[in-house]
Structures are given as structure tokens and as C-alpha cells.
């Protein structure tokens, strides 16, 4: 982890040297010294980080280095803050001049205090701090020489990669019967000319989940042995040595060591030996994602019969894709009962029935800690095998896994291999997740912005840092460090396996704190002053006004709904991520006005302000919000769109409430200035509108229409959500002008009587429409077909892949087709040529589906709570069956049914 931190600091030191603000000679010299020393240490850091696992003195040296590095990072951040404030002052002056020019009766406005550029005092202050840190680094640099670090050192010298064989005691394996039978069926299946050859099957899962064991079970199955003429097992591991792998394959085929050394010669002989034969090859523990390493083997093995199979075990989804797997089996955890059987079989070996009865209650609780991971069950079972007393078993139950004798080495070794396969920034991102509680549900957007706040995400060319951060997460997910939560249907959420979380806790440093009930808070002064993250998962009686005194280095702060934001928040100059949830009962008149001091947080990147939904509490931003020129994310349900919104030009994501009462002085056309904005969510009214009745003369209806028509949205917007809009129509030009829009959500537009011409949006990929309870007809206006169009070829919704309608209670007709209805018109129009999934839920009056569906490449159709449509979609007999018969997956659900009808 230190490697990524040092790289970031070296980059910042370089930026400081080349800064437009002239440094004094003394400061520049001290900065250059720091940069040189860090680069010297960087050269041996890889070796040091591996040796810390086995050498306590090296670990202590790294802790010292990391401590000084963080101190330097803070000093550089202070200097950078001064420069940012100078830029804010410059922009403020320009803004005020523009405002004066716009009106002849310029009113006297509040002027913020002038902020000076770095002065002599600030130069002197930073010089002293850097000089002191240089002296600390000198000492660390001298200590480095004592350890004789190497410039590079292989991972295997610290964490040995186990070599696997095909042998297994089948009687010891529990809980894998079904998946083993499914795998054997695939292996024994007959090949066809159409399937990809050679046929590759991949077993994917986290370290310790049992991939190798399952492969061994299949390899030793009697039917499998009888089916294949040649069977070969090769432990590939990392690095992927082509010649070594080739020799092992050939040696298994010929039953003697080959006298060949060149890859070409090895592959030539393998090709000859397996030609036309029914061949079964297991590649166990594949890590490389380099297609060039695999391709020569794939090409050589094409000579075997069509029924041949290659079975691959890997921790990475990407490997399965790279090897062009025809079947990918993701191995899941054992059930709680199967995990108990694995654990108890080992733990109670040689124990008499009375001992088993006395220890079983503790045993079952210990087994639950394994969370279905076979390796954990075996490791803990082996640990308990020689422990006889209840006291010994209680101690194991109450301890953290990494604190138990032999468990860390046996259980975490496979995870260490996955960890060392990560780049340095990814290591920091992974270990950071230890701050969260077990079973925490991760929202990817929240997590990646925390990583960005800490500077974990390296910049790469012109790629936006948010995109890089999401790539980081995907890299961790495909290596099974995160697992998708199946209980979250619409929005993808993730969890971290308990054992993976334990591993993260075993390697993390104590600069991040998650507070939950029962935890000590605040921690000791020595620890709190160095903390960079504080997340409150539950209520605390801590005096929030002391935040700036006790936690001056914070980058990330998350408060729960029982806490009120203090004025002193503005003193946390390093803060990048602020997440505050508000409790409606804590504020009067339905409004929460945030402290003006928030405007002093000039380094802030993410500001999340929310509360339990639904609520009528409106959150008012301070007047000085325009000073947050680095802000990239601003979100909050009922967060009133701020005046001077156009000054927040770094924004990528904005979720806000548009309310004509609270937005006085706000110019909605300023939104067009947010040229970097990619995701915009606008709430036109607070509360849960679908649950209430709107009077025809409600003044909000006209107000909503006027506001929507006044909006000028940035042209590069990719995702737009409009919620609680009360107009009966929507501007046909506003949405059609968003030529880069990919996702559109029209939610709770309860008075909307017709849809705008959304078919004209060229790049739209996903469209979601819900709670439009006044909408009775969806017709050609929705497609954007106009009668005056000539007979040229037209593509409607050319890139739409996902379309969803939910709770359109009055919707009766869906007409989609031609301008005049003739065959000639149909030939000119292509509608939704890329549509993959269509979902219609709780639209009980809808009578039929449009004819054009039969020309779409739909792969999935889901209909729920639509009795008329369900009847019309019956297989073979339904009136709409001819339009949907080509769809592979059709689900027709009743209101209260969990099973599909087709």
C-alpha cells in the first residue's frame, strides 16, 4: 500500500516544483530533496512490502515510512489549498463583475473576504515543515540500508503457491454433489460442429472456495475416465510459463519426460499425439489474462476430437472470457449445513460422543464464521481438532480469525496470492474496505468517490477519474473480492465475504475508523489526529463541534441522521467527501439550512446530503456554495438547487430539487454551464406524489411546465432522471436535444398525458417510465414519427436496449408503427433494432403489445400484474404470441406469484 502513497506524493512534489506560484529557493531545495529520497525508497519498496509479512522489523520500518508520507501529504495539501483559494478569489471577482454588467441597478452584495496568494509567512511555514520532514525521512532512509532490500523479489519467496495434482479423497468432499454432476454432464456431452473448438469450461471463484477440489472430483469420476482416451492435469499457476506448461502436457501424454525445449516443437508433438483423440485437459489455477499466452495452445489443441474438453480453474472472470469459455461455472459458498458437516468431520475426529455433545454449540457458531468457505471450514476444523475444553473453543469463537494460531497462514495464504496479483493502487482500494462493517452493502458510487477522496485512484491520460475508479472496482469484483447481492434487483449492490473482510482487516493500517454501537469514540488523541476516515454507522453522543480539533486530517466523513452538522465543519480543510443524513424532526418549518462554513471546504469533491425517503424536509445549501469549484458530486433528496449552480463547473453528478419557492435567484439556464456533468437527477416536488391527489388548479402544475421549459441542459449529459414532474406534457425539444443521453428515467410524472418524442434520442440505451397514472395511450408521438416525414429510411430508438414501464394504471393502448399504416411506410421504418429486454409491470388496463416487437432482437420479456397482456401472450394461442414467439426468455408473473407462466 505504501507504494501507491509514495507514487502520489512524488507526483505532487513534482507539481509543486513546477507550480505557477513561485517558490523561494529554500522551499524548492527542500522539496527536491524530498522527491529524491522518496524515489530512492521507491526502488526497494516492492521487496519491503513482501518481507513485512515475515519480518516484524521491516513492518515497523514501513509503518514509520507511511507515517512520514502522510505528514508530507498533509503539508502539500495545505499548500494546495492556498492556491485553490487564490483561484476562488479570482473567479469570485470575475463573477461579481459579470453580475454588475448584467444589471443597471446592481444591488449591494455580500463580498467574501479576500484570500491572498501564498505570502512570505506561508512560504516560511511550509519551509519549516518540509525541513522537519526531510530530517525524519533521512533517518528512515538510513535505516533502509540495514535491511539489504533487493530491487525485486518474487512473491513465491514469501507466499508459496501450492502445487496441485489430480488426486483427491472423494469420501472427504461434502456439499458439491449437484455442481459436480452438472460439470460431469457438460464434460460428457457430445460436441457439435457449431460449438467453439476446443470446448473450454471454466470454474471461477474466490481463493478457498473449492475450485480445484471440484475439478479433482470431475477428473476422477469413473464415467469421465472411461469417456476420454487421454486425460492430463497441469497446475499452471503464475507466471504462465508456456514451455513449462507444454512439457507437462506432453509428459502426461507420453508418460516420459520430453527432450524438447522449444515451444514450437512441444506444440507440434502435442498436436500429433492428440489428433482425432477424445482428450480431456485440466488447467488448474490460471492467472494470466494475456490471450497471446493461451492462443498457441488453443490452436494446437484444435486437432483433437470435437468431444474433447478443457477444464480451467481460475479466480478471475476475465480469464474465463480470455480463454473463450463455452461454459462458465461460478462456484458459490457451501450451505450452512454442508459447511458444518465439513467442519465437524475434521474438528470432532477422535472425539467421543460426550465431548461432541459438550462442544457442538460452540462448534456450530465457529462453523458459521466460515460463511460457507470450504477452506475456512477445513482450516478451523483442523485447529479445533486438538482442542478439548469448552474454554479453548470459546476463545476461538470470540477471537478475530487473523489473531488465531495457524489460521492466518493457512486461511489467508490463498487470499494473499490474489492480493499480490493487484496493482499498488488496487491494494489500497481493497484494504480500505476494512473500515466498513461485515455484511455492509456497497453502493459502488459511494465507494469509488471515497477512493477518489483519498487519492487512491491514479490519473491516466484524459480518462475521467470516476471511470478509472469504477474500473478499479470491476477489477476487484472479477477477482472475487466483491460478490453481487442477489437480493437487490434493480440497482446492483455488492458485499464482501466475511473471510475476505477479515483478510482486509489483517492488512489495513489504522487511519480509517468506522464507528458502530459499542465502539470507543472518540479514540485516543494520538490516533484521532491522524485519522483520514470517520464513518458513523450508528448514533454517538460525541460533541460534533469538536470535529475540527480532534480530526483535523479527515478526508472522508459520514454522519448519520441523529447528528447535526456543526459550524466548525468549515475548518476541516482537507475534507474531500462529506455525507450527512438529516432527521426531519430535528428541523423546524420543513427546512434544513446548512452552515455557511461549508463554502470554506474548497477541496471538497463529494457532498451527499440526504434523509429517509419519503420526507418533506428541504435542504438549503449555503450562499457560498459557488466557492466549491472542485465539487464533482452533489446529491440529496429534496436538496434545493442552489443559486450560482453554474459556478460548480467540475460537477459530474447532480441530484437536486427544483422548487420555485426555494430557488429564488437561481437561473435554471445556468445548468448549461456544467459542461462536465454526466448524471443529472431533478426532483420537481418533494414527497411521494403517486400516493396523493393533485387538484386540477394546483399552481405547481403550471410552475413545473414553466421551469422545465426554462431548463438548458449540458449537451454531454449521459444520464437524466426527472422525478415528480406535474405537467401534463413535456417539452419535445428539451430531451431530443440531448444527443449523448444514454439513460433516461421519467418517474412519478403522475399528470403526464402523453410522452415526448423519445425515439429521436440517438444514443439512448435505457428508458424507464413509472407512475404516469394519467397516461392512457402511447402512440407514434413517443416514437417521434412525424406525418411530414418523407419516405426516407428512419431508425427509431436506434440504440435502445432496455425498456421498462411500471405502474401506468390507466394505460390502455400501445400503438407503435407507421405514419400512414401502409406496407410502404413499414419498409421505411426500423423500430428499436437493438432492444434486448422489455419489462411491463402493474399496467392492468393495457390491452395489447405493438406489432413492431416481432422485428426486434428481444432476448427477455417480463410482464407482471398485467392480466390482459398475460392472457394475450399465452404460448401459441394468445393474440400477441406471434409478436413475441422469437423471444428466448419470457416471464409472465401474477401479482402474488413467484413463478413464471411461460
Region 147-157: mean pLDDT is: 60
**Other beta carbons within 10 Å of 483:** 17
What band does 564 get if pLDDT is binned at 50, 70 and 90?
Answer: confident
Enter the C-alpha cell of residue 592: 434544513
Average pLDDT score, the chain: 83
Does residue 372 come out as left (phi exceeding 0), alpha (psi in the -120 to 50 range) or beta? left
Rounded-to-integer distance, Cα 457 and Cα 449, Å: 10
| Residue whose C-alpha is closest to residue 415's, from 290, 509, 506 | 506
Cα separation, 532 vs 74, whole angstroms: 10
500 DSSP 8-state letter: H
Residues 249, 270 contacting (CB under 8 angstroms): yes
pLDDT at residue number 741? 96
Secondary-structure percent of the chain, ordered helix, strand, coil, rounded to 5: 45, 15, 40
Which tens digits make up the pLDDT trace of 463-486? 899 999 999 999 898 888 898 886
Query: In what helix (H) or strand (E) does residue 796 lie, and over which residues does it extend?
Result: strand 794-796
pLDDT at 900 > cutoff 60:
no
Residue 133 pLDDT greater than 60, yes or no: yes
**CA 457/CA 465 separation, integer angstroms:** 7
Cell matching residue 416: 494473499
Lowest-confidence pick of 375-384, 516-525, 687-696 = 687-696
Whole-model pTM: value is 0.80
Q: Output the pLDDT for position 118.
A: 54
- What pLDDT is stored for residue 81 in this prediction? 86
Q: Supply 243's cell numbers.
A: 514451455
Q: CA-CA distance, 422 to 587, in Å (whole number)?
A: 47
pLDDT of residue 161: 67
Identify the bridge partners of residue 723 per DSSP, sorted by sequence position: 683, 747
- Residue 370 has phi, psi (to 5 degrees) of -75, -20
pLDDT band for 163, please (50, 70, 90 cuts). Answer: confident
Highest mean pLDDT (candidates 154-168, 200-214, 649-663): 200-214
CB 856 within 8 A of CB 835: yes
Peptide bond into 239 cis (omega under 30): yes
Integer Cα distance of 781 and 181 in angstroms: 53
pLDDT of 654 strictly over 90: yes
Name 405's Cβ contacts closer than 8 Å, sequence gap at least 6. 383
In the numeric block, the cell 492466518 is attached to 408
Distance CA 145, CA 154 (A): 20
User: Of residues 781 and 840, which shows the higher confidence score?
Assistant: 840
CA 317 to chain centre: 15
d(CA 38, CA 29): 14
Distance CA 715, CA 873 (A): 40
Most distant pair of Cα atoms in the chain: their distance: 96
Q: How many helices, marked H, and strands, marked E, lie in the chain?
A: 28, 28
Three-state secondary-structure class, residue 456:
coil
> Of 762, 759, 763, 824, nearest to 793 (Cα)?
824
Amino acid at each position: 500500500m505504501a507504494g501507491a502513497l509514495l507514487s502520489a506524493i512524488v507526483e505532487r512534489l513534482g507539481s509543486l516544483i513546477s507550480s505557477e506560484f513561485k517558490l523561494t529557493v529554500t522551499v524548492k531545495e527542500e522539496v527536491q530533496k524530498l522527491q529524491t529520497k522518496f524515489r530512492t525508497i521507491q526502488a526497494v519498496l516492492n521487496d519491503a512490502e513482501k518481507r513485512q509479512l515475515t519480518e516484524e522489523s521491516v513492518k515497523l520500518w514501513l509503518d514509520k515510512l507511511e507515517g512520514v508520507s502522510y505528514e508530507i501529504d498533509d503539508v502539500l495539501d495545505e499548500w494546495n489549498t492556498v492556491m485553490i483559494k487564490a483561484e476562488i478569489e479570482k473567479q469570485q471577482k470575475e463573477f461579481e463583475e459579470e453580475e454588475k454588467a448584467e444589471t443597471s441597478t446592481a444591488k449591494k452584495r455580500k463580498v467574501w473576504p479576500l484570500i491572498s496568494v501564498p505570502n512570505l509567512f506561508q512560504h516560511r511555514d511550509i519551509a519549516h515543515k518540509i525541513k522537519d520532514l526531510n530530517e525524519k525521512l533521512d533517518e528512515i532512509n538510513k535505516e533502509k540500508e540495514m535491511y539489504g532490500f533487493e530491487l525485486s523479489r518474487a512473491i513465491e519467496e514469501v507466499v508459496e503457491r501450492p502445487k496441485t495434482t489430480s488426486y483427491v479423497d472423494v469420501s472427504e468432499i461434502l456439499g458439491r454433489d449437484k455442481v459436480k454432476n452438472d460439470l460431469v454432464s457438460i464434460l460428457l456431452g457430445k460436441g457439435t460442429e457449431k460449438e467453439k473448438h476446443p470446448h473450454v469450461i471454466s470454474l471461477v471463484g474466490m481463493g478457498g472456495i473449492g475450485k480445484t477440489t471440484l475439478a479433482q472430483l470431475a477428473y476422477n469420476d469413473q464415467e469421465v475416465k472411461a469417456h476420454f482416451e487421454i486425460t492430463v492435469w497441469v497446475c499452471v499457476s503464475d507466471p504462465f510459463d508456456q514451455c513449462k506448461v507444454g512439457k507437462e502436457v506432453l509428459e502426461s501424454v507420453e508418460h516420459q519426460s520430453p527432450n524438447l525445449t522449444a515451444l514450437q516443437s512441444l506444440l507440434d508433438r502435442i498436436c500429433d499425439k492428440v489428433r482425432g483423440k477424445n482428450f480431456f485437459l485440466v488447467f488448474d489455477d490460471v492467472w494470466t489474462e494475456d490471450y497471446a499466452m493461451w492462443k498457441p495452445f488453443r490452436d494446437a489443441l484444435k486437432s483433437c476430437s470435437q468431444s474433447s474438453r478443457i477444464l480451467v480453474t481460475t479466480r478471475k472472470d476475465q480469464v474465463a472470457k480470455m480463454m473463450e469459455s463455452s461454459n462458465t461455472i461460478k462456484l458459490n459458498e457451501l450451505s450452512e449445513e454442508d459447511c458444518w458437516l465439513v467442519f465437524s468431520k475434521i474438528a470432532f475426529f477422535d472425539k467421543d460422543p460426550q465431548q461432541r455433545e459438550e462442544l457442538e454449540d460452540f462448534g456450530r457458531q465457529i462453523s458459521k464464521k466460515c460463511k460457507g468457505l470450504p477452506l475456512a471450514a477445513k482450516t478451523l476444523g483442523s485447529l479445533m481438532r486438538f482442542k478439548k475444553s469448552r474454554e479453548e473453543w470459546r476463545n476461538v469463537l470470540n477471537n478475530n480469525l487473523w489473531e488465531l494460531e495457524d489460521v492466518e497462514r493457512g486461511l489467508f495464504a490463498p487470499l494473499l496470492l490474489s492480493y499480490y496479483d493487484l496493482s499498488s493502487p488496487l491494494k489500497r482500494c481493497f484494504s480500505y474496505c476494512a473500515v466498513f462493517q461485515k455484511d455492509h452493502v456497497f453502493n459502488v458510487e459511494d465507494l469509488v468517490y471515497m477512493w477518489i477522496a483519498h487519492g487512491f485512484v491514479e490519473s491516466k491520460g484524459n480518462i475521467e477519474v470516476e471511470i478509472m475508479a469504477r474500473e478499479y472496482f470491476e477489477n476487484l469484483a472479477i477477482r472475487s473480492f466483491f460478490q453481487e447481492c442477489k437480493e437487490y434487483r434493480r440497482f446492483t449492490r455488492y458485499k464482501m465475504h466475511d473471510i475476505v473482510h477479515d483478510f482486509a482487516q489483517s492488512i489495513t493500517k489504522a487511519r480509517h475508523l468506522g464507528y458502530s454501537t459499542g465502539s470507543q469514540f472518540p479514540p485516543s488523541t494520538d490516533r484521532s489526529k491522524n485519522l483520514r476516515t470517520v464513518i458513523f454507522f450508528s448514533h454517538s453522543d460525541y460533541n460534533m463541534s469538536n470535529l475540527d480539533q480532534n480530526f483535523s486530517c479527515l478526508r472522508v466523513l459520514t454522519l448519520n441522521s441523529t447528528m447535526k452538522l456543526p459550524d466548525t465543519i468549515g475548518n476541516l480543510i482537507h475534507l474531500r467527501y462529506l455525507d450527512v443524513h438529516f432527521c426531519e424532526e430535528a428541523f423546524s418549518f420543513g427546512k434544513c439550512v446548512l452552515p455557511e462554513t461549508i463554502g470554506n471546504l474548497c477541496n471538497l469533491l463529494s457532498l451527499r446530503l440526504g434523509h429517509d425517503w419519503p420526507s418533506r424536509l428541504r435542504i438549503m445549501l449555503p450562499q457560498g456554495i459557488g466557492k466549491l469549484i472542485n465539487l464533482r458530486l452533489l446529491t440529496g433528496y429534496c436538496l434545493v438547487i442552489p443559486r450560482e449552480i453554474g459556478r460548480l463547473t467540475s460537477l459530474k453528478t447532480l441530484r437536486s430539487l427544483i422548487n420555485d419557492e426555494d430557488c429564488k435567484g437561481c437561473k435554471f439556464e445556468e445548468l448549461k454551464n456544467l459542461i462536465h456533468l454526466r448524471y443529472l437527477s431533478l426532483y420537481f416536488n418533494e414527497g411521494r406524489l403517486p400516493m396523493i391527489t393533485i387538484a386540477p388548479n394546483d399552481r405547481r402544475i403550471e410552475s413545473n411546465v414553466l421551469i422545465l421549459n426554462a431548463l438548458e441542459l449540458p449537451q454531454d449529459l449521459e444520464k437524466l432522471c426527472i422525478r415528480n414532474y406535474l405537467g401534463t406534457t413535456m417539452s419535445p425539444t428539451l430531451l431530443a436535444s440531448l444527443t449523448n443521453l444514454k439513460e433516461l428515467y421519467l418517474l412519478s410524472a403522475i399528470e403526464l398525458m402523453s410522452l415526448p418524442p423519445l425515439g429521436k434520442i440517438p444514443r439512448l440505451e435505457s428508458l424507464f417510465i413509472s407512475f404516469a397514472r394519467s397516461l392512457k395511450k402511447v402512440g407514434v408521438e413517443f416514437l417521434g414519427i412525424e406525418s411530414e416525414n418523407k419516405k426516407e429510411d428512419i431508425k427509431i430508438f436506434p440504440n435502445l436496449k432496455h425498456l421498462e414501464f411500471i405502474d401506468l394504471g390507466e394505460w390502455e393502448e400501445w400503438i407503435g408503427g407507421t405514419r400512414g399504416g401502409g406496407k410502404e411506410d413499414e419498409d421505411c421504418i426500423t423500430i428499436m433494432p437493438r432492444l434486448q429486454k422489455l419489462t411491463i409491470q402493474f399496467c392492468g388496463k393495457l390491452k395489447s403489445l405493438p406489432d413492431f416487437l416481432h422485428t426486434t432482437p428481444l432476448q427477455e420479456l417480463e410482464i407482471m400484474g398485467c392480466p390482459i397482456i398475460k392472457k394475450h401472450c399465452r404460448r401459441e394461442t394468445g393474440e400477441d404470441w406471434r409478436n413475441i414467439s422469437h423471444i428466448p426468455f419470457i416471464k409472465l408473473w401474477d401479482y402474488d406469484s413467484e413463478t413464471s407462466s411461460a
